[in-house]
Structure 1
C-alpha cells in the first residue's frame, strides 16, 4: 500500500478544523451508521465518539444495528439509501458480504465510509493498523517477560472471519518473537470475538494442554473469556500473562485494576475511531480528496499508563483527548489485509 493512499486521523481532523461549509449554511448532514454489533462495548463507544463529533459540526447520526447478520446489514443499507441519507458509515459484518452494497452505493453516488475492516470496492476505511497494534503489544509482552525467557507458549484467541483480527494475531506473535524468538503459538482458537464463545473454545483447548504462559485476545472479550476459562479450570495465575486488545469499555479496566494476570492492553480508542469516522464522512460528502486508509493511532498500555488516557471511577470512563490526540499514527501500516 503506497503512503499516498494513507492519511492519519490527525491529518483528517486538521483538514476539517473549524466548521464545514454545510454547517455554515445551517444544513447539517444526515449520517447513517450501520453497526455490526451495537451491544458490544467497543461499538457503543464508537457511536459515542460519532455522536459527540456530529453534534460539534451540526450534523445528526442515525444508527441501525445489523446484530452480526449480513442480511440485516444489507437491508439497513437499502433503507438508508432509499431515505437518501447524505453519507453512510458501515462496520462490515463480513468483508465479502458488503461488496454488493458498496457497488450499488457507488452506482447511486452515495458516499460510504467503512469502519474497522476494509472490503473490495471501498472508497475509504477508518481503522487502526491491526498488524502494528498486535506487533507492538507482542513486543511489550516480550519485554515484560524478559528477553532471557525460554519456552514461552501462547494461546491465541482469534477471529479468523476478519482479516483485521488475523493481522492482530500475526502481529502479536511476530512482535513477541522479536524479543523471545523461541515463543510459540500452542493454541490458535476461533473465539468469535465474544466472551462466551471464547470461554468455550479456551476451556476445550486448556483441557487438552494447559501449559500456557501467555493468552492473547484479538479483543477484550476474547481475552476475558479465555481468562474465565483459565479460572474455571482452577489453573494458577501467578505466571500467566493476559494481553487484551481494544480498550473497548469498562471490562478490561475492571480486570486490570485487580492487578492479576491481565497485564497489557493494546488500546485502540473507539471514541477516537468514531470521531474520525464523522470527519471522514463529511470530507467525502464535500467532495474532498480522502485517502483509501485513514489511520487511527494505537498504543500498548500497562495498568500504570491507563490513567493517562482514560479517567475511570469504577462505573464510567472518560477519554483524555489531549493524550490520545498526542499519539502519532503511522504514515502507513506495516502490513495490510491485501498482504495476507
Structure 2
C-alpha cells in the first residue's frame, strides 16, 4: 500500500502526532489553527475517519500564520507523503504550498477554505456565500426590513471571509430599508470580536443588528453588547459550534449558521482514500448548512 500522511497542524506547528502502524497509508493535513473550536472539530472528524479507514494521521498547526503554513507543508512533503490536505490560512498565500505539492506529484485537497491557485484535486466546504446570504436574510427579517447593521469579518484574504461577506452584503443590499454601516475584521477571534465590537458601538451607537462571520467573534461581540446594555440586539454568528448553539439556546444570540466541521474532516479523508485508490472524485464537494434559531 502507498503511504499516506494526514498532517493536521498541532500547537505552534512544532509537534507532530501520529496514529496507526508504520505500514499505514499517509495523508498530510495542514490546518489554519487549532485555537478555534471549529477547526478542532474538523481535525477530530478527520482523525476518527482516518483511524476507521486504517490511515496514519499527522496534525500540523499553522497558527493562522501563512509563513508557518508553508513551512508545515514543506515539512509534510519531506516525509514522503502521498496526499496533502490543507485548510488554508489565506487563500492567496496557500498557493505556494499547493504548488510545492504539485511539483512533487502529491495530490491536494482543500478543506473549508480554498486556494486561489495551483492544482487542487477536490475542495470540500460549505457554501459560504449561501450561508452569508442566509444570515443576511434572517437579519433583514428580524429587523422588519429597516435598520442599521454592522459586520465582523474574519481573517482578511481567507476565502470564507470573502464568501460569507459577499452573501451577507448581497442580502442586505436587496433590502432597501437596511443599511450596512460598518464592516471590520476581527480575524475569527473571540477577543478581537469583543474589542472590535466595543469600537463599533462607540462609532455607531444607533446600530440594530450584528453579523459576525463566525461564532467566536459573535461570542466576543455578545460580551461587548451585554456590557453596553444592548444584549437584546439581533446578533447572528456562523459555524454552529457547541458554544454558539448554546448561546442561541440561552438567548444571547439570535441565530447561527451551522456548518458541519466534523463532516468536512471526515469527507476530506474519504476523498483522500478514493484518490489514493485511483478513483475519481468531484472537484467541489458541498457540505449542507442550516440556520439555528431558538425555535
User: Conserved in 2, the CA contact under 8 Å of 1:223 and 1:244?
Assistant: yes
Structure 1 residue 162 and structure 2 residue 158: aligned? yes
Q: Which residue of 2 aligns with 1:138?
A: 136
TM-score, with structure 1 as normaliser:
0.75
SS at match of 1:31: strand
Q: Distance in 2 between matches of 1:87 and 1:54?
A: 13
Candidates 113, 118, 122, aligned match of 2:119 = 122
Aligned length: 271
Give the equivalent residue in structure 2 for 1:107. Answer: 103
How many angstroms does 1:181 deviate by? 2.7
Match of 2:73 among 77, 92, 103: 77
Structure 2-normalised TM-score? 0.86
2:20 equivalent in structure 1: none
Partner of 1:301: 292
Q: Is the 2:90–2:159 contact (alpha carbons within 8 Å) kept by the matching residues of 1?
A: no
Could you tell me how far 1:270 is from its partner in structure 2?
Answer: 0.6
Does 2:23 correspond to 1:30?
no
SS in 2 for 1:63: strand
Ranked by relative contact order (alpha carbons within 8 Å, sequence separation 6 or more), the top structure is: 1
RMSD (Å) for aligned C-alpha atoms = 1.9
> Partners in 2 of 1:251 and 1:155 — Cα distance?
22
Task: Give the one of 205, 228, 231 matched to 1:237.
Answer: 231
Q: Which runs of 5+ in 1 are unaligned?
A: 1-26, 305-340
CA contact (8 A) 1:157 1:191 kept: yes
* 1:75 partner SS: helix
Deviations along 1:223-245, whole A, 9 cap, x unmatched? Answer: 1122222223x23333x111000
**2: distance between equivalents of 1:112 and 1:184?**
41
Partner of 1:93: 89
Q: 1:34·1:76 contact (CA, 8 Å) conserved in 2?
A: yes
1:177 shift after superposition? 4.9
Cα distance in 2 for residues equivalent to 1:225 and 1:68: 19
What SS does structure 2 have at the residue aligned with 1:168? helix
Instruction: Report the secondary structure of 1:84's partner residue.
Output: coil
Out of 214, 218, 224, the position equivalent to 2:219 is 224
SS for the counterpart of 1:282 is helix
Aligned to 2:185: 190
Q: Look up the SS of the partner of 2:114 in the other structure.
A: coil
CA contact (8 A) 1:141 1:264 kept: no
Rounded to whole Å, the distance in 1 between the matches of 2:231 and 2:226 is 8
Q: For residue 244 of structure 2, what is the aligned residue in structure 1? A: 252
- Given that 1:125 and 1:292 are in contact with CA atoms closer than 8 Å, whether structure 2 keeps it comes out as yes
Whether the 8 Å contact between 2:222 and 2:231 is mirrored in structure 1 is no
Deviation, 1:189, is 0.8
Residue 62 of structure 1: SS of its match in structure 2? strand
